[in-house]
Amino acid sequence: MKIGVKFIVIIEVLVLISISVIGFMSYYVGTESIKGRIEAQLESVMVLKTIHLNNFFRERKEDVQSLSNYCSELLAEEKYEHTVVREKLKERLNENSFFFEFFIIDLDGRISVSTDEKQEGKLKSNERYFIDGKNNITVQSFYYDLSLQQPAITVASPIKENNEITIGVLAGRVDLTEVSFILTERSGLGETGETYLVHNFNYAVTQLRDEETPSFKTAVYTQVVKKCLKEKPSNVQFMSDYLNYAEERVMGAYAYLPELQVCLIAEINEAEAFAPLVDLRNTLFFTVSFVAVIAVVLGYFISKTVTKPIKKLSDMAKKISSGDLNVVVNVDSKDEIGDLAKSFNTMRISLKKTRQSLLDAQNALERKVEERTKELNEKVVKLEKSEAAALNLMEDLQETLKKLEKSHRTIELKNIQLKKLDKIKSDFLNITSHELRTPMSAIKGYAQMLLKGVLGEVTDEQKKALEVVVRSTDRLDRLIQDILDVSRLESGTMKFIPKQTDVKKMVMETVEVMQSSANSKDIKINVEVEDNIPKLVIDQERIQQVIINLLNNAIKFSQGKSVINVRVKKQKDEVLFEVQDFGKGIPKNKQKKIFDTFYQVDSGMDRKFGGAGLGLAICRGIVLSHGGKIWVESTGIPEEGSTFRFTLPLKPVQDVEGRFREVDIVRINSKQSKNKK
């Protein structure tokens, strides 16, 4: 990914994070505000319903108590007859629409008189309203009356003779129509809200929203009912985001009415309660989208300003690497990029002067050699003619040798200058790699935080884009590491820490790590390690780096559902490592070159799979430093693949780093010898 694109992505991410945080806070505050308003509304409804219910049953108790006093007067008269009392009760029943039956129970618990003659003679001695009603006026909570086949509430009061001796109990069955009216009245609850009563046995005793009449047959086991019946709170409590009896997500309030032994529940559908949040969400979405577009446009113009001088430096570096030392970079910025451009120009001038000095020295040396050779030839001819000429020739030869020695010292000085330039190049690579790694670490870190959701939720499309960013930063990080390793190989500064290592354990752990990469192409890695391999004194991490590079190449160039074989065995005084794949293979005329730096067998294929041609050069340097050898065997025929082998001696190599500095790691000498030929 280009720096300009990365810059735009970073600006876009930062802006989206800021806007998302602000939007989330606004949405959260709005939600809490609406939630508080709904809870206050539900609490008002609960208090109002409780007051209405208490007033209703207080008035019914007063009605029954008044009627019981009237019955006491009737029963005190000597001309008392059941038919007369029944008619009087019916008259009162017609006057009071809140009851559908009045009846008198004698002290034996049997109904003696009732407005419903079918009920006369029935035994009610076990009913709670009869037992409690002999002493005080009482209200029996909701129960299911089998004779009436419907829920009922009975209010009972003692009938006393001369207000002293209880001679019976007057009971009235309350018509629940008014109770249902009180609870089904939806003022303050919107279109989806409702209130209802639930008995101790989890049955709804009043009309539910989808019922025409109260049935006492609908069991309600919602969270709010369970909590109300368990805690029995006298004050109003609230519960959010739960499913009601109809499997709808609602907000609710609840309280326990101890006199009626029921829970009063008030609920409203969350979709209706939080409807205003939809407009807020749409507004936030439009705002985020608009700001995102502005951020992209702004990021584009800013990135152009930043990347333009970097592009100039990149073009200059390419021309210098191709040998053009006359190119000049014109960057007018007074920041780090401007300083870097000045350093580039200074380096270019220095390289140009050095190259010209070397060319002049070479031409001068050739002329001197040619002149001295001509002089020597003339002196040899003269030597044949005269011994005196021979003495003069010896003197000339000595003088010539002195001049040649002086020329040799000049060449050595130029060689020292070349080494200094090589060091400048290595330092430049190290500094450049470090400066590239610093922003790369930040980019990778923020991208991973976004992927994990630390900075907010992201969409699936954004996750895919962020995964591409992470993979690209990993690839660039590996490339930078390879460049640093090659630089250390060339300069002989790579560090080695030899220690006694369990070879089998090291190989198994390395293969286990690489198997996850092979799984992406359904490739199986087989391992064969002999048991008789002793522990080796090696730098474990560097040897693991060699095995990982070889396995990575094998996976990269193998077809899907293929097999890779890893073998380790002992041979005389060394241990042989093999990595065999069944991929495209390597032509025989290119097998010796693949261990050179920046060499690629097939540039088109390598561009497809990625890579810079550094891995095998690094492997060769590490193996040679340990006193081993590395090579490849391949027929070059596709699907017959390649087998990479390297050896490590059983006897520990003394001073691995010293040996490393002596080895021609990047084959500079071999390249020079070829150039001479």
**The pLDDT of residue 143:** 76
- Cα distance between residue 263 and residue 244, in whole Å: 14
Q: How many residues does the structure list for the chain?
A: 677
DSSP states along 489-555: HHHT------EEE-HHHHHHHHHHHHHHHHHTTT-EEEEEE-TTPPPEEE-HHHHHHHHHHHHHHHH
* Topology agreement, domain 40-172 and domain 494-676: no
Top-level class of domain 40-172: alpha beta
pLDDT exceeds 60 at position 608: no
**The pLDDT of residue 606:** 46
- Cα distance between residue 208 and residue 188, in whole Å: 17
Residue for token digits 């809870």? 39
Confidence class for position 671, pLDDT limits 50, 70, 90 = very low
**The pLDDT of residue 119:** 87
Q: What are the tens digits of pLDDT across the range 439-480? A: 766 776 777 777 777 777 878 788 778 777 766 776 676 667
- Cα distance between residue 394 and residue 389, in whole Å: 9
Section 510-523 average pLDDT: 89
Residue 624 dihedral angles phi and psi, to the nearest 5°:
-60, -35
Burial class (CB in 10 A: 0-12, 13-18, 19+), 56: middle
Range with the lowest mean pLDDT among 106-115, 336-345, 578-587? 336-345
- Cα distance between residue 228 and residue 241, in whole Å: 16
Confidence class for position 486, pLDDT limits 50, 70, 90 = low
Please give, one letter per residue, the 3-state secondary structure of 544-573. Answer: HHHHHHHHHHHHHCCCCCCEEEEEEEEECC
Range with the lowest mean pLDDT among 313-317, 336-340, 660-664? 660-664
The most confident of 286-300, 342-356, 376-390, by mean pLDDT: 342-356
pLDDT exceeds 80 at position 654: no
Range with the lowest mean pLDDT among 152-161, 380-389, 494-503? 380-389
661: number of Cβ within 10 Å: 13
**The pLDDT of residue 674:** 43
Nearest to 54 by CA among 212, 220, 267, 262: 262
DSSP states along 583-624: SS---GGGTTTTTSTT--S-HHHHHHH---S-HHHHHHHHHH
Q: How far is CA 565 from CA 114, 244, 645, in A?
A: 100, 62, 12
Looking from the CA of 189 toward its CB, the CA atoms found within 13 Å total 26
Q: For the chain, give every domain's residue range.
A: 40-172, 179-273, 307-474, 494-676
**The pLDDT of residue 350:** 82
**The pLDDT of residue 526:** 95
Evaluate the CA torsion angle 300, 303, 309, 310 in order and state its sign: negative
Q: What are the tens digits of pLDDT across the range 68-95? A: 988 888 776 655 577 888 888 899 889 8
- Extract the tokens encoding 139: 């209200």
Confidence class for position 395, pLDDT limits 50, 70, 90 = confident
pLDDT exceeds 50 at position 672: no
Residue 220 and residue 202 in contact, taking contact as beta carbons nearer than 8 Å: yes
For 179-273, CATH gives 3.30.450.20
Supply the DSSP symbol for 331: -
At the topology level, CATH places domain 494-676 in: Heat Shock Protein 90 (3.30.565)
- Cα distance between residue 75 and residue 650, in whole Å: 123
**The pLDDT of residue 564:** 95
- Round the average pLDDT of the chain to a whole number and report it: 79
Q: Is 665 helix (H, G, I), strand (E, B) or coil?
A: coil
Q: What are the tens digits of pLDDT across the range 530-583? A: 998 999 999 999 999 999 999 988 998 888 889 999 999 999 899 999 999 998
Rounded percentage of the chain residues whose pLDDT exceeds 90? 19
267-291: b or e for each residue (b if 16 or more CB lie within 10 Å)?
bbbbeebbeeeeebeeebeeebeeb
Q: How far is CA 249 from CA 19, 221, 222, 425, in A?
A: 30, 15, 11, 69
Burial class (CB in 10 A: 0-12, 13-18, 19+), 358: middle
